[in-house]
Amino acid sequence: MKLLTCPINGVRPLSEFVFGGELRDMPPAECSDKEWADYVYNRNGAPGLKKEWWYHSPSGTWFVAERDTLTDNVARTYLYEQEGAQ
Amino acid sequence: MPLRLLKYALSKEYKETRFFRENVTPKKSYDAVIIGGGGHGLAAAYYLAKDHGITNVAVLEKGYLGGGNTGRNTTIVRSNYLTPEGVNFYDASVKIYEGLSEELDINLFYSTRGHFTLAHTESAMRTMRWRAEVNKHVGVDSYVVGPDEISKACPQLDISCSGHAPILGALYHGPGSVARHDAVAWGYARGADRLGVDIFQSTEVTGIDIKGGKVQGVQTSRGYISTPRVLSAVAGFTPRICKMAGIDTPIVIHPLQACVTEPMKPWLDSILVSGSLHVYVSQSSRGELVMGSSLDPYEVHSTRSSLDFVEGLTSHMLDMFPFLSNVKIVRQWGGMADMTPDFSPIMGKTPVEGFYLDAGWGTWGFKATPISGKTMAATIANDMAPDLIKPFRLSRFEEYELTGEKGAASVGH
Ligand SMILES: Cc1cc2nc3c(=O)[nH]c(=O)nc-3n(C[C@H](O)[C@H](O)[C@H](O)COP(=O)(O)OP(=O)(O)OC[C@H]3O[C@@H](n4cnc5c(N)ncnc54)[C@H](O)[C@@H]3O)c2cc1C
């Protein structure tokens, strides 16, 4: 079984986690409809190292994982607030 | 036939003609280049030559023909979708499929079985009624049936699903069929080849040359090819190709897995689908049960398969058919599904002149192979998409005009 490291609870089986999609910055509130549609729908669907939201469901913890979507290797996981701390 | 066999057995050479020409070196330029030798790319090439007389066409395939999702799918063909746009489109495909073995002169093992989408909850029943109404309105044969009719068609099914998820009814779709997927690719490839299209296997597109917003050519592992028109029909690789063309899409790639059992005597006539139990199953002409489930729940660009998948799928299969507990799974595999937010494809023109997209086929594109080939060929020939595929244009997202087909997806997502 695959494993993932929750920054709070440590290494846990993947079945305890929920994928939350890529971490993306919201455009400013006064953006155009086109920019908003781009944010709502378009994705970086090409393979590569991406920052993603993951959720550890038993403990209710949202955190960020840096994962290569081609190799499925996770480089690191951390709480959103801790970004850049490492 | 036996005589011919004997002749070949005694001769050192095998003189039988190959299925299609072995093209070695691409020409310097083509009127159109098609990226991807799956069913969609090959069908587009065939109809470009046949319907539009455009034969100076190259199909470039980085692996082997049909080695992508075309050769990996569970081969279900149906048109009982939810939106009128979808039902019309897939119905046009079913109609071509029905005469396709004859047209391509290859046995596609096209077998009309009847297709049951099982409902285990009241809300699922409501969706079935809704789909039945839309289908009937468009002229497609679909209606809601009760448990008795399902049992009559498939006496082996445990209608209570081991008590976990009793079946309340189903949407029945008579034209639901299965077909031999590799043969669809080979048939279109041979048809296109005979009309003069050049097909290159082991030839990867590595870049798209665009100047002043117009396509000029493609970079490939065998050198540069100049062309004013490029069709991308690469299923799970679409975001990579679009990146080369500088085009953003809402497509994300998730693996979809399938498996087959050892062969059995024929006992399952119909195609059965349960979105709630994440199961769809049919019996192949070889006697195997061909089964699929739901998408892997996160983005991965690979065709690996997993133990989680077979465990989950087989446990639900046993809810439906407890007597299968001693039957062995002999093979499992995965494909890369290019998912869109509205479960509809992305077809037609793009912001780059001469660059056309046939993508977003997710878990549902095998059935669309003939009609997507036909409509994309028309789009390339006329630089304009036919009405049938206008609802699937890439610009629908920025226009907030999605074609929501999720309720007709056969797998739980
Ligand atoms: C497990 C599974 C079950 C499915 N079941 C069904 C079903 O029952 N019914 C149904 O309708 N649909 C089903 N589908 C979906 C269906 O298989 C696909 O939508 C369909 O096959 C897509 O066909 P295609 O020709 O567009 O893509 P593909 O057959 O994937 O062909 C694309 C080709 O492009 C090539 N390529 C990629 N990048 C490049 C490059 N840079 N240069 C050159 N070539 C390149 C690839 O090698 C590949 O051969 C299923 C899919 C999967 C994975």
Residue B253 near chain A (CB below 8 Å):
yes
* CB-ligand 1 contact for B44 (6 Å cutoff): no
Q: DSSP string spanning B351-367? A: SSBTEEEEE--TTT-ST
* CB-ligand 1 contact for B74 (6 Å cutoff): yes
Residue B239 near chain A (CB below 8 Å):
yes
> What is residue B16's predicted lDDT score, i.e. its pLDDT?
62
Atom of ligand 1 nearest to the CA of B335: 53
> What is residue B19's predicted lDDT score, i.e. its pLDDT?
83
Yes or no: say if B255 and B300 are a contact pair by the CB < 8 Å rule.
Answer: yes
Chain B window 313-342: which residues touch A at a Cβ cutoff of 8 Å?
Answer: 338, 341
Residues of A in contact with B240 (CB under 8 A): 46-47
- Probe ligand 1: pick from B111, B363, B374, max atoms within 8 Å of CB? B363
CB contact under 8 A, B398 and A72: no
Q: DSSP string spanning B10-57? A: HSSS--SPPSS----S--SB-SEEEE--SHHHHHHHHHHHHHH----E
Residue B251 near chain A (CB below 8 Å):
yes
* CB-ligand 1 contact for B294 (6 Å cutoff): no
Q: CA B401, B362, B253, B74: dihedral to nearest 10 degrees?
A: 170
CB contact under 8 A, A69 and B249: no
Please tell me the distance from the alpha carbon of residue A17 to that of residue B273, in angstroms, as a whole number.
Answer: 27
Interface test with B, best of A31, A43, A49, A77 (most B CBs within 10 A): A43
Among the listed residues B236, B249, B255, the one whose alpha carbon sits nearest the alpha carbon of residue B342: B249
> What is residue B20's predicted lDDT score, i.e. its pLDDT?
85
* Identity of the residue in A38, A42, A45 whose CB atom sits nearest the CB atom of B253: A45
Residue A42 near chain B (CB below 8 Å):
yes
Residue A80 near chain B (CB below 8 Å):
no
Residue B221 in 3-state DSSP? coil
Please tell me the distance from the alpha carbon of residue B343 to that of residue B360, in angstroms, as a whole number.
Answer: 8
Q: Distance from the CA of B236 to the center of ligand 1, in angstroms?
A: 7
Residue B71 in 3-state DSSP? helix
pTM for the model: 0.95
Task: Give the strands of the sheet with A74-78, arranged side by side.
Answer: A17-22, A49-56, A61-68, A74-78
Structure tokens at B263: 């062969």
CB contact under 8 A, B252 and A43: yes
Find the residue in B nearest to A43 (Cα). Answer: B250
Please tell me the distance from the alpha carbon of residue B19 to that of residue B104, in angstroms, as a whole number.
Answer: 12
Please tell me the distance from the alpha carbon of residue B146 to that of residue B148, in angstroms, as a whole number.
Answer: 6
- Strand B143-145 vs strand B214-220: parallel, antiparallel, or unpaired? unpaired
Interface test with A, best of B234, B247, B301, B344 (most A CBs within 10 A): B301
Cα separations in angstroms, B104 against B131, B189, B201, B413: 32, 10, 21, 35
* CB-ligand 1 contact for B367 (6 Å cutoff): yes
Element (H, E) at A67: strand A61-68
Find the residue in B nearest to A35 (Cα). Answer: B398
CB contact under 8 A, A47 and B338: no
Residues of B in contact with A20 (CB under 8 A): none
> What is residue B411's predicted lDDT score, i.e. its pLDDT?
65
For each of chain B's 413 residues, which pLDDT tens digit applies?
Answer: 567 677 777 777 766 667 888 877 999 999 999 999 999 999 999 999 999 999 999 999 999 999 999 999 999 999 999 999 999 999 999 999 999 999 999 999 999 999 999 999 999 999 999 999 999 999 999 999 999 999 999 999 999 999 989 999 999 999 999 999 999 999 999 999 999 999 999 999 999 999 999 999 999 999 999 999 999 999 999 999 999 999 999 999 999 999 999 999 999 999 999 988 999 999 999 999 999 988 999 999 999 999 999 999 999 999 999 999 999 999 999 999 999 999 999 999 999 999 999 999 999 999 999 999 999 999 999 999 999 999 999 999 999 999 999 988 876 54
Residue A32 near chain B (CB below 8 Å):
no
Find the residue in B nearest to A68 (Cα). Answer: B300
Section A34-53 average pLDDT: 96
Q: How far is A84 from chain B (nearest CA, A)?
A: 24
pLDDT at A84 over 80: no
